[in-house]
Amino acid sequence: MILTVDIGNTNINLGIFDGDELVCTARLSTERRRTADQYAVEILNSLMLHGIKKNSFSGAIVCSVVPELNNTLSEAINVVADISPFMITSDINTGLKIIDNKSNFLGADLCAVSIGAIEKYPLPCIIVDLGTATKMILLDENGMFMGCNISPGVKTSLEALASSASLLPTVELKAPTTSIGTNTLDSMKAGTIFGTAAMIDGLAERMENEFGREIKSVIGTGGLGEEIVKCCHRDIVYDKNLILYGMRRIYEQQKN
| pLDDT tens digits, 111-144 | 999 999 999 999 999 999 998 889 999 999 999 9
Q: How far apart are CA 217 and CA 236, in angstroms?
A: 7
Question: Which helix H or strand E contains 250, and what residues bound it?
Answer: helix 242-255
Q: How far apart are CA 6 and CA 211, in angstroms?
A: 30
Check residue 187 and give its pLDDT. 86
Identity of the amino acid at 195? G
C-beta of residue 48 within 8 angstroms of C-beta of residue 28: no
- CATH class of the 97-246 domain in this structure: alpha beta
Catalytic (active site) residue 186: no
Check residue 169 and give its pLDDT. 62
Q: How far apart are CA 134 and CA 156, in angstroms?
A: 10
Q: Spell out the domain ranges in the chain.
A: 2-87, 97-246
Same fold flag, 2-87 and 97-246: yes
**Catalytic residue selected from 37, 91, 109, 186:** 109
Residue 67 DSSP label: G
Sheet of strand 86-87, all strands in order from the earlier edge strand to the far edge: 21-29, 11-18, 2-7, 59-64, 86-87
Q: How far apart are CA 165 and CA 188, in angstroms?
A: 12
Check residue 29 and give its pLDDT. 93
Q: Three-class SS of residue 83?
A: coil
Q: Is the pTM of this model over 0.85?
A: yes
Q: Which residues of the chain have pLDDT under 70?
A: 101-105, 162, 164-170
Domain 2-87 listed as CATH 3.30.420.40: yes
